[in-house]
Amino acid sequence: MAREFARKFYNSKAWKKCREAYKQSVYGLCERCGQPGDEVHHKIYLTPENINDPYITLSFENLELLCSSCHSIEHNEKYSPLREGFGFDENGDLIRSE
């Protein structure tokens, strides 16, 4: 769900046209796993400071089509308690991932 400051932008005709054009430009496939994509993701996250910058909001260079799973991973990864390349083994011990 869009944050309050971005709600008007995500409901705009400009965003809806851009989103659909971008989806078509990448053949509707998630750019990370190749499954059907549903979320046009902003690589540089939208903030109250950049919401009116069309290079950030509407540029294909800042967009990426993701499936629901990859989009969820993208937004939840920053809250992960583990650094990339680490995990837990079957005993719960911290190990370096392969």
Number of structural domains, the chain? 1
pLDDT given at position 73:
84
Kindly tell me if the per-residue pLDDT of 1 is higher than 70.
Answer: no
In whole angstroms, how large is the CA radius of gyration of the chain?
16
One-letter amino acid identity for 7? R
Band the pLDDT of 40: cuts 50, 70, 90: very high
Residue 97's pLDDT is what?
Answer: 66
pLDDT bin (cut points 50, 70, 90) of residue 96 is confident
- Other beta carbons less than 10 A from residue 22's beta carbon: 17
Domain that holds residue 24: 4-96
pLDDT at 55 over 60: yes
Residue 30 tokens read as 């998630």
